């Protein structure tokens, strides 16, 4: 087993060295499992053109559901980030940022139309590259289009105000764009995070240099073709594939990038904040991890609540920052909820992401699968009871069965740490106060679920839980107009809705001394 692994690594290393300096075409034809094919760009997207990076290095893109290579793409390094920033800076100095906002409304609406027109291709790319089921990918594509359309609606409504200070002065404020924004996105929702990031930045007249995650670069590059087709001017959106420690680092430390927006792990988020502080004090927004509680009260509609528990942890194979990974059930209904939840988990269709009724596809990478399985072992070793799952599904592709742990205590690693996979803990509580206390017993604060038929309880508990999103009688239920973001170590800044625009504008105050006229 180990030898096979070593051989594979050696083979890959040899492959890299051959391919690294050879000429990968800037577009390759990819055949999709639905019998169609499409042209996949492979270059860096700078100034509305696909280009080969200075060092001409490429890296491999794998399909996690088959473990096979899909293609290679070109890799951005520091000097390429500089070129992307140059393009973005020139675009920022143009009419894009300073001209009539109706232009931004029009091109963003056009981009949303193009996403919808190419929805099936985009969904298939996402399932191929990330391993997620088509059910999930189709949802991501739809929300991406809606998010960009919603931002288009805001683009000509980014108004300042008049401030009254008496007749000696006239004061007004403007909400001005920041400049070139760096955006670093993760692999769990490659297309959706792309949309969440570019939508408010573009609506407010900024320009961007966006780095996709190394394991999922394909949908962002495909989006580049739609960006050009939508009429978004050259240099406004620049997209680079590459590694966090090289391209990501170059963005975080760049002297001419005015803001960095990051989604990913808390550890990398901390590092980016430091890099921003030590370079040019660029503004930072962070959307980080979580360990979100999903609470079921005695008076909940049990079968509906169970649907939310399933959606909360097994949607997107649990690779969701706001996954409801800590389930707490009030004691009267605990046995019933656990029995129904176990049954529902065991009925989930897992496997080939391209079958229409598959709910759970593959984890994104072998590293992620190994990390999840390691947590399963830790859970067992620390004395939790494995109620269901806890192992790989099949032996090809990075599939893991829906996994439930019972008999857990608050100090166990599987209760405290973000696993980022289809692994959930379930335990009992007695009173409403107990539920609030355990829900808040975390350094994170991204989301929470509350299941009850009592509106007073729903509101009072929601108000007492320290998290950026509370879902009542639902879970993982996003809307493009509703802001999303963290409390505590889950980060700061908001995505989607009007609140997201605040992260991409700065307020300028103009105070004019008036002279009395006769």
Question: Applying CB under 6 A, which residues contact ligand NAP?
Answer: 184-188, 211, 213-215, 243-245, 248-249, 252, 263-265, 268, 271-272, 288-289, 321, 368, 371, 418, 420
What is the C-alpha separation between 414 and 425, in angstroms, rounded? 7
Lay out the site mask for Mg ion across 201-220 (x = CB under 5 A, - = otherwise).
Answer: --------------xx----
Q: Are strands 207-211 and 237-240 parallel, antiparallel or unpaired?
A: parallel
DSSP string, 91-146: HHTSHHHHS-THHHHHHHHHHHHHHHHTHHHHHHHHHHHH---HHHHHHHHHHHHH
The pair of three-digit structure tokens given for residue 228, joined into one six-digit string: 């050009």
User: Segment near Mg ion (CB under 5 A), from 45-53, 55-63, 191-199, 506-514?
Assistant: 55-63
Region from 60-68, 168-176, 250-258, 336-344 binding Mg ion, contact rule CB under 5 A = 60-68
Min CB(265)–ligand NAP separation in Å? 3
Sign of CA dihedral 6, 9, 15, 17: negative
Give the nearer residue to ligand NAP in terms of CB position, either 157 or 245. Answer: 245
Q: What are the b/e assignments for 104-143, b being 16+ CB within 10 Å?
A: bbbbbbbbbbbbeebbbbbbbbbbbbbbbbbbbbbbbbbb
Residue 146 CB: number of other CB atoms within 10 A? 20
Which residues are within 8 A (CB) of 161 and not within 5 positions of it... i.e. 6 or more apart?
172, 173
Choices 62-70, 95-103, 114-122, 495-503; region in contact with Mg ion by CB under 5 A: 62-70
| Closest to Mg ion by CB, 70 or 413 | 70
| CB-based contacts of 128, cutoff 8 Å, min separation 6 | 30, 32, 33, 63, 65, 70, 218
The entry of ligand NAP, Mg ion, none near residue 321 (CB within 5 to 8 angstroms by kind) is ligand NAP
Q: Least distance from C-beta 385 to ligand NAP, angstroms?
A: 24
Stretch of 122-130, 166-174, 405-413, 414-422 contacting Mg ion, by CB under 5 A: 122-130
Interface with Mg ion, residue 71, by CB under 5 A: no
Among Mg ion, ligand NAP, none, what does residue 214 contact (CB within 5–8 Å per kind)? Answer: ligand NAP
Is there a catalytic annotation at residue 287? yes
Between 296 and 364, name the residue whose CB sits nearer to ligand NAP.
364
Q: Please state the closest distance from residue 216 (CB atom) to Mg ion, in A.
A: 5
Closest CB to ligand NAP among residues 271, 380:
271
| Binder of residue 249, out of ligand NAP, Mg ion, none (CB less than 5 to 8 A by kind) | ligand NAP
Q: How far apart are CA 45 and CA 406, in angstroms?
A: 48
**C-beta of 82 vs 156, nearer to ligand NAP:** 82
Of the residues 287, 319, 418, 495, only one is catalytic, namely 287
Q: 146 vs 216, which CB is nearer to Mg ion?
A: 216
Kindly tell me which of 112 and 311 has the beta carbon lying closer to ligand NAP. 311
CA distance 253 to 282: 9
3-state secondary structure of 9: helix
- Of these partners, ligand NAP, Mg ion, none, which one is at the site of residue 393 (CB under 5 to 8 Å by kind)? none
Residues 20-49 that bind Mg ion (CB under 5 A): none
- Interface residues for Mg ion in 470-499 (CB under 5 A)? none
CA 356 to chain centroid: 23
State which residue, 216 or 452, has the beta carbon closest to Mg ion.
216
The entry of ligand NAP, Mg ion, none that residue 256 binds, CB within 5 to 8 Å by partner kind: none
129 lies in the site for Mg ion, by CB under 5 A: yes
Give the whole-angstrom CA distance, residue 58 versus residue 36. Answer: 26
Distance of alpha carbon 64 from alpha carbon 76, whole angstroms: 23
DSSP H helical segments within 155-294, as ranges? Answer: 190-203, 218-229, 249-252, 266-278
Q: How buried is 95 (Cβ within 10 angstroms: 0-12 exposed, 13-18 middle, 19+ buried)?
A: exposed
The least CB distance from residue 82 to ligand NAP, in Å, is 16
Rounded to a whole number of angstroms, the minimum distance from the CB of residue 131 to Mg ion is 7
Nearer to Mg ion, 128 or 467 (CB): 128
Q: Quick one: which segment of 54-62, 107-115, 189-197, 445-453 binds Mg ion (CB under 5 A)?
A: 54-62
Choose the one of ligand NAP, Mg ion, none that binds residue 265, judging by a C-beta under 5 to 8 angstroms depending on kind.
ligand NAP
Q: Residues of 475-510 as b/e, b for ≥16 C-beta within 10 angstroms?
A: bbebebeebbbbbbbbbbbbbbbeebbbbbbeeeee
> Cα separation of 201 and 259, whole Å?
10
Bridge partner list, 118: none
Which region among 17-25, 127-135, 251-259, 326-334 touches Mg ion (by CB under 5 A)?
127-135
**Residue whose entry in the numeric block shows the structure tokens 């951005």:** 76
Nearest to 268 by CA among 241, 292, 290, 287: 287
Whole-number minimum distance, CB 261 to ligand NAP, in Å?
11
CB of 420 to Mg ion, least distance (A): 16
401 binds, among ligand NAP, Mg ion, none (CB under 5 to 8 A by kind): none
| Catalytic (active-site) positions | 287
Q: Which residues make up the interface to Mg ion (CB under 5 A)?
A: 62, 129, 215-216
């Amino acid at each position: 087993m180990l030898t096979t692994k070593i051989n594979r690594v050696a083979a890959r290393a040899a492959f890299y060295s051959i391919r690294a300096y050879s000429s990968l075409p800037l577009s390759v034809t990819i055949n999709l499992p639905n019998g169609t094919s499409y042209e996949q760009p492979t270059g860096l997207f700078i100034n509305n053109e696909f280009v080969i990076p200075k060092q001409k290095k490429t890296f491999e893109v794998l399909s996690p559901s088959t473990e096979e290579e899909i293609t290679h793409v070109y890799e951005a390094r520091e000097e390429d980030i500089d070129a992307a920033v140059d393009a973005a800076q020139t675009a920022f100095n143009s009419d894009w940022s300073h001209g009539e906002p109706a232009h931004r409304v029009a091109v963003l609406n056009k981009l949303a139309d193009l996403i919808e027109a190419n929805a099936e291709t985009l969904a298939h790319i996402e399932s191929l590259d990330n391993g997620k089921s088509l059910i999930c990918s189709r949802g991501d594509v739809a929300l991406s289009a809606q998010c960009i359309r919603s931002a288009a609606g805001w683009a000509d409504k980014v108004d300042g105000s008049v401030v009254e200070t008496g007749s000696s002065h006239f004061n007004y404020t403007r909400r001005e764009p920041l400049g070139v924004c760096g955006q670093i996105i993760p692999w769990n929702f490659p297309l959706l995070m792309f949309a969440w990031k570019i939508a408010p930045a573009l609506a407010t007249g900024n320009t961007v240099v966006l780095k996709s995650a190394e394991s999922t670069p394909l949908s962002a590059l495909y989006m580049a073709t739609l960006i050009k087709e939508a009429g978004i001017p050259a240099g406004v959106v620049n997209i680079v594939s590459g590694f966090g420690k090289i391209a990501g680092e170059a963005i975080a430390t760049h002297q001419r990038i005015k803001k960095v927006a990051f989604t990913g792990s808390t550890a990398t988020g901390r590092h980016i904040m430091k890099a921003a502080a030590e370079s040019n004090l660029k503004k930072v927004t962070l959307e980080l991890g979580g360990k979100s509680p999903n609470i079921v009260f005695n008076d909940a509609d049990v079968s509906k609540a169970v649907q939310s528990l399933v959606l909360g942890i097994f949607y997107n194979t649990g690779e969701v920052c706001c996954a409801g990974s800590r389930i707490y059930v009030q004691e009267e209904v605990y046995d019933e909820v656990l029995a129904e939840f176990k049954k529902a988990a065991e009925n989930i269709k897992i496997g080939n992401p391209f079958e229409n009724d598959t709910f759970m596809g593959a984890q994104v990478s072998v590293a992620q699968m190994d990390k999840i399985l390691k947590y399963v072992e830790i859970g067992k070793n620390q004395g939790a009871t494995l109620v269901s799952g806890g192992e790989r599904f099949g032996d090809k592709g990075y599939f893991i069965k829906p996994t439930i742990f019972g008999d857990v205590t608050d100090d166990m690693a599987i209760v405290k740490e973000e696993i980022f996979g289809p692994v959930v803990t379930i335990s009992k509580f007695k009173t409403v106060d107990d539920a609030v206390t355990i829900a808040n017993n975390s350094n994170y604060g991204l989301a929470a679920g509350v299941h009850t038929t009592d509106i007073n309880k729903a509101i009072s508990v929601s108000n007492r839980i320290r998290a950026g999103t509370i879902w009542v009688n639902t879970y993982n239920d996003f809307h493009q107009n509703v802001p999303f973001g963290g409390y505590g170590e889950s980060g700061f800044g908001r995505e989607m809705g009007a609140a997201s625009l605040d992260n991409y504008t700065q307020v300028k105050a103009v105070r004019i001394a008036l002279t009395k006229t006769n």
